[in-house]
Structure 1
Amino acid sequence: MWRIDELVDGPNAPHITPEALDRCEASLEDIFNGRLFDLLDAALSDTVSRFHVDKPFRDMVEGMHMDLWKFLYNNFDELYLYCYYVASTVGLMSVPDMGIAPESKATTESVYNAALAVGITIQLTNILRDVGEE
């Protein structure tokens, strides 16, 4: 996940093109289909196959595409979708890997909903924090 995130948040972010993200998507599909390059790919492939979290990875890349071309949102629904793509997906990827404590009374659905909400909240906070700079 961090290799993907670094594309748009890392030091080379200003130079990332849609074609670079397309290559990233193709690499993800290779990993999801068992075509692995290194041990990190193997770990991701194992996690995705064990926990069925390929959709959040695909959605996160969609959010990165949005980072390249969309800077203004016409309404909260559009902004919410962006926040889902770039932040909530991380929580959704993490829940199955971290698990839910056996003694927890929370339902699986409520834990996923909380992960989704935390992602939205964190991204909105990041956006608000940057308002002064931008």
Structure 2
Amino acid sequence: MTERARLVAAARDSIARGSKSFAMASRLFDRRTRERAWLLYAWCRACDDLADGQEHGHALAAVADPAARLAEIRAKTSAALDGRPTGDPAFDALGVVAAECAIPHHLAHDLIEGFALDAAGFSPRDEQALLRYCYHVAGAVGCMMAIVMGVPADDEAVLDRACDLGLAFQLANIARDLCEDDAGGRCYLPAEWLAEMDIPPGEAMRPMYRDRIAVLAGRLATRAAAFEGSARHGTPALRFRSAWAVLAAAGIYGDIAREVARRGSRAWDARVVTSKAAKLGWVAKAAAQARGRGRHWPVATPRPLAWVRPRSG
């Protein structure tokens, strides 16, 4: 087995353990794109796990040495981007995919800035601060994934749409994980939103405020839907199988935000998940959507969102 094949195998295992939704969607790519998507995912997952003391995205825990962990992420990432072996398969995977796809290094460093925000105890003051955070932890990944799919690194219009999908995913995550994040000492609801609902700092998930929090979770879901809708206008720039995978992932993840909103104050009684049957349904629907993507979501349509993605690291 070649070194690249070994890294791909490890990355395939990582996505299978870390995200059933993304694992299913990734199967729709052609082989080369699929392998590269796995390689990029493995690095993102490893960084996230290292920063948050998790195991493949599970069991968020406060870490005693966030600065040291952040320094390790920065050092290994820089080495990988420079083409130097790190001894860590996930970081070596980044080195391979970044070289093969000419991923701009600033995008990888933009993601790391998201981990730095969390290490510093970030909590957003307003919606713009929330969206900037979402860019760092997810929008930048959307941009890198688009480049893996063959989008030129200087095609800012399409990268904006790819970033929008990352933001949609992250907003859905935040809405779903409000209880888990609260238990880990984190709150990603803007302070202005909490004040508007008369919810004291640090008390967002107390039972007495659950109905009010449901209103804010619904707001997150509405924002997620807007970004998801914008992202779909980038799919005509992709090859069919890549568009199929993106549209399937958009539908699968979009269902998470929609279900959180539907459940209202009961959204956190049990973790919101998308069933296997629903995932397969989206795979089928996305195939039809991908065939008609140019007609349904013309790429020249003006982007309706006011938020602007950072153009450099």
User: Normalised by the size of structure 1, how large is the TM-score?
Assistant: 0.79
Structure 1 gap segments, 5+ residues each: 101-107
Is the helix fraction higher in 1 or 2?
1
Residue identity matched to 1:81: R
Rounded to whole Å, the distance in 2 between the matches of 1:26 and 1:43 is 15
Cα deviation 1:35-84 (Å, max 9, x = unaligned): 21346544422322342332121111110111122342111111111000
1:90 corresponds in structure 2 to 141
- The structure showing larger relative contact order (alpha-carbon pairs under 8 Å, at least 6 residues apart) is 1
Structure 2 gap segments, 5+ residues each: 1-42, 183-313
Computed over aligned residues only, the root mean square deviation of the Cα atoms, in angstroms, reads 2.3
1:29 corresponds in structure 2 to 78
Q: Do residues 75 (structure 1) and 123 (structure 2) align?
A: no
Alignment of 1:114-133 (within 5 A): 114-132=161-179
In structure 2, do the counterparts of structure 1 residues 65 and 40 end up closer, same or farther at CA, with 3 Å as the change threshold?
closer
1:14 pairs with one of 50, 62, 70:
62
Cα deviation 1:2-22 (Å, max 9, x = unaligned): 221222352475325111111
1:45 corresponds in structure 2 to 95
2:292 corresponds in structure 1 to none
Rounded to whole Å, the distance in 1 between the matches of 2:68 and 2:97 is 26
1:3 corresponds in structure 2 to 46
Tell me if structure 2 keeps the 8 A contact 1:95–1:115. yes
* Cα deviation, residue 115, structure 1: 1.0
Tell me if structure 1 keeps the 8 A contact 2:46–2:90. no
1:103 corresponds in structure 2 to none
Residue identity matched to 1:70: G
Rounded to whole Å, the distance in 2 between the matches of 1:91 and 1:47 is 15
Rounded to whole Å, the distance in 1 between the matches of 2:103 and 2:173 is 28
Rounded to whole Å, the distance in 1 between the matches of 2:81 and 2:171 is 30
| Bigger CA radius of gyration | 2
1:111 corresponds in structure 2 to 158
Alignment of 1:48-59 (within 5 A): 48-49=98-99, 50-59=101-110
Rounded to whole Å, the distance in 2 between the matches of 1:115 and 1:131 is 25
Rounded to whole Å, the distance in 2 between the matches of 1:42 and 1:130 is 30
Residue identity matched to 1:3: A
Rounded to whole Å, the distance in 1 between the matches of 2:73 and 2:92 is 16
Runs of 4+ in 1 over 6 A off after TM superposition: none
User: Normalised by the size of structure 2, how large is the TM-score?
Assistant: 0.37
Rounded to whole Å, the distance in 2 between the matches of 1:84 and 1:115 is 11
- Compare 21-30 and 109-118 and name the one that shifted more: 109-118
- Compare 41-50 and 21-30 and name the one that shifted more: 41-50
Rounded to whole Å, the distance in 2 between the matches of 1:23 and 1:96 is 26
Rounded to whole Å, the distance in 2 between the matches of 1:82 and 1:126 is 13
Tell me if structure 2 keeps the 8 A contact 1:6–1:13. no
